[in-house]
Chains A and B, each alone.
Chain A
Amino acid sequence: MAAANEVPSEAVRYLLEGIDIVGNTKTRRQVVEHYVPFRRGDVLDVDDPKLELTRYRLLGTGFFRDVQLSLRKGSARGRVILVVEVTERNTLVVTDLAMGLSADTDAEGRSRPLAAFAGVAGAERNLAGTGITLGSALAISQGATTDDAIDQFALRVRFFDPAFLSSRWALAGELLYNDALDFFGNTNVQVDDSRPTSASYAVVEYTRSGGQIGVGYPTSLSTSFWLSYRLETIGDVRLPRAAAHEYGGMVEPIEFDILPGRSVLSTLRATLEYDTRDHPWLPTRGWQASAALEMSLVPAGSDYPYERLDLRARRWWTLPKNHVLGLDLFVGAIAGQAPFFEQYYVGDLTDFRPGRLLGLNFDRRPAPNFLGTAIEEVRYAEYAFKLNAEYRVPIYRGRRSVYAIDFIGSFGAFLLAGPREVLRPAPKYEGLSRIPIDLTANIGFRLDTSLGGFTFTFSNVLGFLPVSQDEGQ
């Protein structure tokens, strides 16, 4: 029978004689120890909140399905051994899936399918038990309506070590290969090309191969600094002999913004990140902001002299009934002669066109142009601005395979321009319509699952519908 005496309050403390880690058949002992803030010889108070935090911190790595901490007797009275028992989980995951249809526009401005595209990314998040993430991603597209060779292919292999050599520094790297092409020209495109083509646009074929390596350091709990070096060779560039198109009522030659033959791209990028989000996929409060400056290293052999500055700030607020409002502001500027695939692309700004996957562009259409501005002339440019608001309504919460489903609705405006639009606006546009601005919107569902985060949205489908009555007739 239990003794029922009232006893005075006293802390239960032991001398920590050692740490025993069990259950880790794959994960190295040092990886687990990295997250345990106790050492042999410490005085261990069983009420120390760091014990509970250690358990959740180990769970937060994603390497383990369960973690239990316990104490067992040490070699002498008052001494204990801290036992960390882990149950490992599968860490080989699919991290992203994407698929869709891209489109072209015919002579009357009607959308017609151009290519089917798909992308998949997978990762092993605990490579050989070291805690290192190794992932790869693949994106492909295949022509849908034309006999022209417009197939594309991109491959990435990436790794991420959150504690490089057991230090606070993180190390990230990537190898890339793109066998790609892109479409140029707006309306009335005239192309002089040695390659046989039936298309009403100019095509640039090219490959990209190379990689980058970066180091990151957490300057505080919420800020981190990254420095990355990138080296790529751009090869097999095949350009039309000459091409021209109609730009805002004027016929002018098409600038391809890529060097023929083989060229080198070498850059250094510094990024400062600030992140106080409460969740990486479905945040309900906090900030995420970043400032990134990338400089092409011409003295180190880069053939493209340019600098690029990207600023982004996102903020989330929790509203009544757990609804969430988010604001997203992006400002970017490029000075110099960046290759076209480094410039801002209209599909990355509007939800009504597919964005690029692994640097591949599948779509040839201009922006929908809801406001009747010069945005219909711009696909790639050096200056970009976007302000977007997103409203989320939680519709399901769980704890196993599906953690959360939110309905999302977003609305925003963006601007995409280059020196051409600023210094020599097209004569077809007057007044405010010279400003290449457009609206964007989206609705859909965002899922947080054990397989990762997924978004099902409908604006890309809506993008196949004509914007104005004239367009579809």
Chain B
Amino acid sequence: MTAGRVLSSCARRLGAWLAFTLLALATPSSARAQEAAGATPREARFEWDTTRRWLFVTVSFRDVADAALLRKLTLGLPTTIILTGLLYAQDGEQPLASTLQNCKITWHVWEEMYRVEVSRPDQQAIMRHWSPTLNGVLRRCAQTERLLIAQQGQVPDNKPLVLKGKVLVNPVSPELIAKLQNWISRPSNTTAASPGSILFSTFTGLFMARIGEAERVFEFSTRPALPR
């Protein structure tokens, strides 16, 4: 075989590998970490309190509760659903204000009831409730009812507002990730018999769990609406 033919053969193989790689990369939608549920904006209601000092938002994101989440809620161990919301003026690029709702649900195995703990910026303490049904859980944790989002002065008058929400199911803390990374077994060079061997270099790192910021991330946005 001539050198030219060998080079040509290797170039074809390299081309095939690159094509494979590009094909793999051409399907980014299958590799998305987050679900962009906000393709169709949803309805939200913005309301001032009677003194027009505080602005509240009411919005539902019950579609976060897919079959996997509904099953998870019945497992007897805590599930946390966190909503973070950023308020924008229509066509605005900078957020005007932000809000947060933290909800922890625990199915009590013997009481056969859900314990729901909710914290919101307009509450001084965590509110704890018992609910016998999943519907009751979702009413508290997968929608907001008059959630404080802004105060007077943060929101321009007579401008439609948009809420961009991000829902995290069981968020993973950086401390937890650090502990996990210490636990996961690490590759060792000590089993290499040949000093120059480069095979097996990724031997033990292959299946390290790919841990994102949460078990599930769900994003949405609302239609522009004027506060009432």
Tell me whether A and B are bound partners: yes
Chain A residues close to B by CB (< 8 Å): 1-9, 12, 14, 46-47, 49, 51-53, 56-57, 59-63, 68-73, 77-78, 80, 91, 93, 95-96, 98-101, 112-113, 116, 119, 121, 123, 125, 133, 135, 137, 139, 144-145, 156, 158, 160, 162, 172-174, 176, 178, 211-212, 214, 216, 221-222, 224, 226, 228, 230, 232, 269, 271, 273, 275-281, 290, 292, 341-342, 344-345, 347-348, 355-359, 361, 396-403, 405, 447, 449, 452-453, 456
Among B9, B32, B76, which residue has its beta carbon within 8 angstroms of that of A80? B76
CB atoms of A101 and B193 under 8 A apart: no
- B201, chain A: closest CB distance, angstroms: 6
A5-B129, A121-B199 are contacts. A399–B31 as well, Cβ < 8 Å? yes
Is B6 interfacial (CB 8 A cutoff)? Answer: yes
Asked, given contacts A57-B180, A224-B188, whether A62 binds B207 with beta carbons under 8 Å apart, the answer is yes
Identify which of B47-55, B106-114, B150-158 touches chain A: B106-114
Given contacts A113-B3, A398-B28, contact A447 B139 (CB under 8 A): no
Q: Could you tell me the distance between the alpha carbons of A59 and B200 in the complex, rounded to whole angstroms? A: 21
Question: When the two chains form their complex, are residues B129 and A2 in contact, meaning their CB atoms are under 8 A apart?
Answer: yes
Would you call the interface of chain A mostly helix, strand, loop, or mixed? strand
> Nearest-CB distance from B123 to chain A (Å)?
11
Residues of A close to B170: CB separation below 8 A: 52
Check B24 against A96 for contact (C-beta < 8 Å): no
B residues sitting closer than 8 Å to A (CB atoms) are 1-3, 6-7, 9-10, 13, 17-18, 21, 24-25, 27-28, 30-33, 72, 74-78, 106, 108-110, 115-116, 126-133, 135-137, 139-140, 170, 172, 176, 178-191, 193-212
Q: What is the minimal beta-carbon distance from A86 to any residue of chain B, in angstroms?
A: 13
Max chain A C-beta neighbours (<10 A), residue from B130, B179, B197, B201:
B197
Q: Measured between C-beta atoms, what is the minimum distance from A81 to chain B in Å?
A: 9
20 pairs from A and B in contact (CB 8 Å cutoff): A2-B133, A6-B128, A46-B77, A47-B78, A52-B176, A71-B76, A93-B206, A96-B200, A96-B201, A113-B6, A121-B200, A156-B193, A173-B191, A269-B190, A280-B186, A280-B205, A359-B195, A400-B30, A453-B201, A456-B21
Q: Given contacts A68-B75, A275-B186, A355-B196, is CB(A1)–CB(B136) below 8 Å?
A: yes
A279 touches B181 (CB 8 A): yes
Contacts of B6 in A (CB 8 A): 101, 113, 116, 144-145
